[in-house]
Amino acid sequence: MPGFTPGRRYQPPFMPFKRQPFKKRALAAIELAVKGPLFGCRMCGNCLLQETAFICPMECPKGLRNGPCGGSTPEKCYVDESRPCIWYKIYERSFQLGREALLLEVLPPMDWNKAGTDAWSDVFEQAGNVGVKNIVAGLTSGEAGSVSRTLDSIFRPVRQPDWWQGDSEYHAPKYSEPASELESRLKAGEFVVAAEVTPPLSINTDKLKQHIEMLKPYVAALNFTDSASAIPRMSSWACSKMAVDLGADPVMQITGRDHTRVNLQSGAMGASALGIRNILCLTGDSMTLGPGPQGRMDIVDLDGIQMLWILRRMRDEGKYLDGREIKHPPKYFLGAAASPFASNMKFQALREQKKVNAGAQFFQTNVVFNADALDEWLNEIAKRDILDKVYILIGITPLKSYKTAAYMDKKIPGIVVPKKILKRMETAKEKGDEQAEGVQIALELIEKIKSKQGVSGIHLMAVGWEEIVPRIVSEAGLGKRISSQVEEPARSSSKSQRSAQLVDFVTG
Ligand code: SF4
């Protein structure tokens, strides 16, 4: 068991892709012999130990290098429940050692040319550039901060290559006109509603188009998931394009699980040209959740934070990741997921700050069932001074049954269903009234959330029950109202009939 890596499971070291000269091979063997037993080093060749409180992050089954995913819990990793989340351990130790500020630096994706090779020669070379005299003076001067400045002068250029240059700073968007309808309404101060639409499992788009038409009068934007739970469906960009054609504002979701650095950039460029102007960057659910056969599970080319960093620079600096200039840069409003209850809220808030620094302009949170507990997370976010830099849309799911509520509470990482709500759904089940109770709970939550400072809207995830969205939006006083005789307009009437039954009212 490596001395400095708590609860680590053995994973084999990486091998270099190309044959290395003898000197490099010898140095790599010595490095592995030293760092293997101490840190469980896997020889990724892009060492991050300085930033991660000396716990190697390459233990993470998703290979994440910028923090935990939304599925982490203090007890276990959701990809492999037999081990703890290594990122939780890194956060814990960083806070204990007072090194948490280091976790804000946006770290680059792997340079795979270096995988399996030694990281030490880069460090020695940089130490040579700084100069032995300067290093000794810096480490022994006794001045406040001198040691960390000296170490930073050696390790920072190694971990932040020229093609990345990540930092811990906030970078305000460099444009003024809103890129999308969603951004425009948020900037105008409207309490917005976004709703998720599940993409179809086949090429039949009738239901998809029906849902878009049905929901667009009620929402500011429609989210299309990107093969959620690693189950292939119609792509998010194809659904988003259909939404654009039908006059709705789509939020195209992109997962790091299914995108490499090359097609992230080409896809975002194409989407912007097609009029898709909201992009939500997600690391993505692990392949282990999918029905299989499963692809490689332990490596994502990019995590959500790296995706934001790349897309923001393409838009605001007009540059591809490789440094090539973009004559006509893409336009988009960038979003990310936030998971208030996934772990310690202090840890989550740090992670949300890193996303905002990388480029997130809006958050859509995981499903929330406890509006009161949300205050703690909002307080943590406020302490990190990001409430005025990001719009927050709280995730709401109308419960269809007691079974769904119990499943979400037990099985879905980051979702907590309070006992009181479980009890209400159980009682409603006995009375044969589950759906009505689920809607009532959603309305009560929205009512509480509406008054919270720092919250800019809600994100309705009806998960296959899209027909209920108009009723919830209307009864929550957030958009068009349907007549009292009509419960679920899409089911019961045509578009023109529905229009006649609608009474417009828009709240602030
Ligand atoms: S970050 Fe990479 S080089 Fe550093 S200890 Fe972990 S596997 Fe080894």
What domain range includes position 316? 181-480
Q: Return d(Cα 479, Cα 253) in angstroms, integer.
A: 24
CATH number at residue 243: 3.20.20.220
Which atom belonging to ligand 1 lies closest to the Cα atom of 65? Answer: 1
Token pair for residue 240? 């988003």
pLDDT at 289: 83
DSSP string, 97-134: HT-GGGGGS-PPPP-TTSTTS-SHHHHHHHHHHH-HHH
Give me the phi and psi of 424, to 5 degrees please.
-60, -40
Based on the fold, state whether residues 206 and 131 are members of the same structural domain.
no
Question: What is the distance of C-alpha 419 from the center of its chain?
Answer: 28
In a domain, 3, yes or no: no
In a domain, 459, yes or no: yes
Based on the fold, state whether residues 129 and 194 are members of the same structural domain.
no
In a domain, 175, yes or no: no
In a domain, 500, yes or no: no
CA-nearest residue, atom 3 of ligand 1 = 47
Based on the fold, state whether residues 394 and 252 are members of the same structural domain.
yes
CA-nearest residue, atom 6 of ligand 1 = 56
In a domain, 15, yes or no: no
pTM (2 decimals)? 0.91
Q: Return d(Cα 442, Cα 348) in angstroms, integer.
A: 24
- 42 within ligand 1 shell (Cβ under 6 A): yes
- 49 within ligand 1 shell (Cβ under 6 A): yes
- Going by pLDDT thresholds of 50, 70 and 90, the confidence category of residue 161 is very high
Site to substitute for ligand 1 among 44, 46, 59, most atoms within 8 A of C-beta: 44
In a domain, 492, yes or no: no
Based on the fold, state whether residues 188 and 152 are members of the same structural domain.
no
In a domain, 12, yes or no: no
- 159 within ligand 1 shell (Cβ under 6 A): no
Mean pLDDT, to the nearest integer, of 88-117? 93
Instruction: Extract the runs of DSSP E, i.e. beta strands, from 411-492.
Output: 457-460, 481-482
How much distance in Å is there from the Cα of 116 to the middle of ligand 1? 10
374 has a pLDDT exceeding 60 = yes
Mean pLDDT, to the nearest integer, of 46-63? 90
CA-nearest residue, atom 8 of ligand 1 = 41
Based on the fold, state whether residues 213 and 249 are members of the same structural domain.
yes
Based on the fold, state whether residues 396 and 365 are members of the same structural domain.
yes
488 has a pLDDT exceeding 60 = no
Identify the weakest region by mean pLDDT among 304-308, 358-362, 409-413: 409-413
Name 236's Cβ contacts closer than 8 Å, sequence gap at least 6.
199, 224, 225, 226, 252, 253, 254
For residue range 394-404, list pLDDT tens digits in order: 999 999 999 99
- Going by pLDDT thresholds of 50, 70 and 90, the confidence category of residue 62 is confident
490 has a pLDDT exceeding 60 = no
- 158 within ligand 1 shell (Cβ under 6 A): no
Based on the fold, state whether residues 89 and 202 are members of the same structural domain.
no
Based on the fold, state whether residues 330 and 445 are members of the same structural domain.
yes
- Going by pLDDT thresholds of 50, 70 and 90, the confidence category of residue 7 is low
The tally of domains found in the chain comes to: 2
Based on the fold, state whether residues 149 and 44 are members of the same structural domain.
yes
Based on the fold, state whether residues 224 and 120 are members of the same structural domain.
no
Token pair for residue 362? 């809006």
Based on the fold, state whether residues 334 and 471 are members of the same structural domain.
yes
Site to substitute for ligand 1 among 9, 48, 59, 155, most atoms within 8 A of C-beta: 48
Name 452's Cβ contacts closer than 8 Å, sequence gap at least 6.
371, 374, 375, 378
Based on the fold, state whether residues 458 and 309 are members of the same structural domain.
yes
Which atom belonging to ligand 1 lies closest to the Cα atom of 45? Answer: 3
